[in-house]
Structure 1
Amino acid sequence: MIQVSYHKLDLEVNKIDYLVFDLEFNQDYNPAKKDRNIITPKCPFEIIQIGAVKLDENLQTISFLDRLVKPQIYTTINPFVKEMTGITMDLLDTAKPFKEIYEEFIEFTTGTTSILCVWGMTDMRELFRNIEYHGLDMSPIPKEYINLQLYASKYFNCSKGVNIGLHNAIELLHIPVKKQFHNAFNDACYTVEVFKKIYNKDIKPCIYNPNKYIRRNTDNSERKKSIPID
Structure 2
Amino acid sequence: MGYVVIDLEFNRMDNIEKHYPNIYLEHEYLKDIDIESEIIEIGAIKVDQYMKVEEELKVYIKPSIFPVLNPEIINITKITNEDLEKGISFEEAMAKLKEFTGNNILCSWAKDDIAQIIINSHYHKYEDIKWVNKYIDIQEYVTKVIGAKKSLSLKNALTRLNIKADSNLLHDALNDAYFTVQAFKQLYNYRIVKNYIVNNVYDMPAINLKCVDNIKLNYNMIKSSCPKCRRKIILDFDYMPARWRFISVGICSKCHSAVLNEVIVKKTLLGKVIYSEIGSILNEIEYSDYSYRLEKYFIKKEKKS
Q: Please state which band the TM-score falls in when normalised by the shorter chain.
A: 0.7 to 0.9
2: CA distance between counterparts of 1:145 and 1:40? 32
- Structure scoring higher RCO (CA < 8 A, sep ≥ 6) equals 1
Q: In structure 1, which of residues 82, 91, 107 is the aligned counterpart of residue 74 of structure 2? A: 82
How is 1:84-99 mapped onto 2 (pairs within 5 angstroms)? 84-99=76-91
* CA displacement at 1:209 relative to structure 2: 3.4
Unmatched segments (≥5 aa) in structure 1: 1-15, 218-230
Checking the alignment, whether the CA contact within 8 Å between 1:56 and 1:62 is kept in structure 2 is yes
2: CA distance between counterparts of 1:145 and 1:50? 17
Checking the alignment, whether the CA contact within 8 Å between 2:133 and 2:200 is kept in structure 1 is yes
Any idea what the Cα deviations from partners look like across 1:138-167, whole Å, max 9, x if unmatched? 4442311111101111122212xx100101
Q: Which residue in 1 is equivalent to 2:97?
A: 105
2: CA distance between counterparts of 1:41 and 1:34? 13
> Structure 1 counterpart of 2:4, which letter?
L
Report the RMSD for the aligned CA atoms in angstroms: 2.3
Unmatched segments (≥5 aa) in structure 2: 25-29, 204-266, 273-305
Q: In structure 1, which of residues 16, 27, 42 is the aligned counterpart of residue 12 of structure 2? A: 27
1:198 counterpart = 2:198: no
1:168 counterpart = 2:156: yes
> Structure 2 counterpart of 1:81, which letter?
I
Any idea what the Cα deviations from partners look like across 1:152-189, whole Å, max 9, x if unmatched? 11122212xx1001011111111122561011110000
2: CA distance between counterparts of 1:139 and 1:207? 14
Checking the alignment, whether the CA contact within 8 Å between 1:51 and 1:185 is kept in structure 2 is yes
Q: In structure 2, which of residues 115, 118, 123 is the aligned counterpart of residue 128 of structure 1? A: 118
> Structure 1 counterpart of 2:66, which letter?
Y
Q: Which residue in 2 is equivalent to 1:177?
A: 165
2: CA distance between counterparts of 1:61 and 1:39? 43
1:144 counterpart = 2:199: no
* CA displacement at 1:58 relative to structure 2: 1.1
> Structure 1 counterpart of 2:165, which letter?
V
> Structure 1 counterpart of 2:159, which letter?
E
Change (3 A) 1:34 1:69: closer
Q: Which residue in 1 is equivalent to 2:2?
A: 17
SS at match of 1:153: helix
Q: In structure 2, which of residues 41, 45, 66 is the aligned counterpart of residue 49 of structure 1? A: 41
Checking the alignment, whether the CA contact within 8 Å between 2:134 and 2:201 is kept in structure 1 is no
Q: Which residue in 2 is equivalent to 1:213?
A: 268
Any idea what the Cα deviations from partners look like across 1:74-102, whole Å, max 9, x if unmatched? 13111211110001112111211111111
* CA displacement at 1:39 relative to structure 2: 6.5
Checking the alignment, whether the CA contact within 8 Å between 2:109 and 2:180 is kept in structure 1 is yes
Any idea what the Cα deviations from partners look like across 1:116-158, whole Å, max 9, x if unmatched? 1111010011011111111112444231111110111112221
Query: Between Structure 1 and Structure 2, how many residues are aligned?
Result: 196
Checking the alignment, whether the CA contact within 8 Å between 1:82 and 1:88 is kept in structure 2 is yes
1: CA distance between counterparts of 2:41 and 2:3? 20
* CA displacement at 1:34 relative to structure 2: 10
TM-score by length of 2: 0.60
Q: Which residue in 1 is equivalent to 2:294?
A: none
Identity of aligned residues (%): 31
1: CA distance between counterparts of 2:136 and 2:105? 7
Checking the alignment, whether the CA contact within 8 Å between 2:110 and 2:138 is kept in structure 1 is yes
